[in-house]
Chain A
Amino acid sequence: DAKTTQPNSMESNEEEPVHLPCNHSTISGTDYIHWYRQLPSQGPEYVIHGLTSNVNNRMASLAIAEDRKSSTLILHRATLRDAAVYYCILREISNFGNEKLTFGTGTRLTIIP
C-alpha cells in the first residue's frame, strides 16, 4: 500500500518561506496528492492538491517531483496564522473505481515571530 512520510515538526520565522516535505515513494500513477492543515481546535481545511504538475493557489504552492515520489508544500511568506499541523494525503482511485486514502502523520509547523 502507498505510504507517506512527513517530518514530525518544523519551525520557521515569520515572513519567511516555508517548505514542508512529504515522501511518497510508493505512489501510483493515479494517486492525487492533497495537502490539508489543521489549526488548533479546528477541523482540517483544504490547502492544495495536484497530480503531476506543480500547482499554485492563493494559499500555497505545491511542487511535485518529476518522479512523483515526493512533494513539497510551499508557503511563500509565513504568518503566525499559518501555525498548524499540515497533512500530506494520497487519494487514489483503484481499479474497481473505489477510493483509497493514505495519510501522513502530519508536520507541526511553528512560526517564530
Chain B
Amino acid sequence: GAGVSQSPSNKVTEKGKDVELRCDPISGHTALYWYRQSLGQGLEFLIYFQGNSAPDKSGLPSDRFSAERTGGSVSTLTIQRTQQEDSAVYLCASSLLLAAYEQYFGPGTRLTVT
C-alpha cells in the first residue's frame, strides 16, 4: 500500500516568505507527527495530531510555525516569514494509534531559505 507522502520534496524560498509543507499519511492512521532535522543533526519533534487535534504545540520553534490537519488525514505545516535558520528537512510520520504502534516516516521536504 501507499506510504507517507510529502510535498514538495524540495522548496527554496526567500527569507521573509511564507511556505506550506504538506503531508499525506497512510490511510487509516489516526496519529500524525511532524519533525525537523537540520543538517547533520538529530530529529527534533515539532507537533503531533491525534485525529484533527494537536494537544501539545509547545514543540513548535516559534509562533511563526503552525500546523493543521483536516479530515483526520492531510496535514499542512506552515512557516510564516521564513528565516535562514528554518532551513532543514521537515519529516512527517504517521502511526495507526499512539505510542504502542510504529511510526512510518515520509521522505521529507528539504526547505532552503535564501
Residues of A at the B interface (CB closer than 8 Å) are 30, 32, 34, 36, 38, 42-46, 49, 51, 85, 87, 91-93, 96, 98-101, 103-106
A51-B100, A85-B42, A103-B43 are known; give 17 further A-B pairs, CB within 8 A: A32-B100, A34-B103, A43-B107, A44-B93, A44-B103, A44-B105, A49-B100, A49-B102, A91-B99, A92-B99, A98-B55, A99-B50, A99-B55, A101-B33, A103-B42, A103-B44, A105-B42
Instruction: Establish whether residues B104 and A99, one from each chain, have CB atoms under 8 Å apart when the complex forms.
Output: no
Q: Closest chain B residue to A91 by CB distance? A: B99
Provide the bound-state CA to CA distance between A49 and B95, in Å.
13
Contact A101 to B45, CB < 8 A, known contacts A32-B99, A93-B98: yes
A-B contact pairs, 26 of them (CB 8 A): A30-B99, A32-B99, A32-B100, A36-B105, A43-B91, A43-B108, A44-B43, A44-B91, A44-B93, A44-B103, A46-B102, A46-B104, A49-B102, A85-B42, A87-B43, A91-B98, A91-B99, A92-B99, A93-B99, A98-B50, A98-B55, A98-B56, A99-B99, A101-B45, A101-B48, A103-B45
- 1/0 per residue, CB under 8 A from A, across B66-96: the answer is 0000000000000000000000000101000
Q: Closest chain B residue to A96 by CB distance? A: B55
Partner of A46, one of B43, B100, B103: B103
B106 within 8 Å of A (CB atoms): yes
Provide the bound-state CA to CA distance between A104 and B42, in Å.
8
B31 within 8 Å of A (CB atoms): yes
Chain A residues lying within 8 Å of B91, measured Cβ to Cβ, are: 43-44
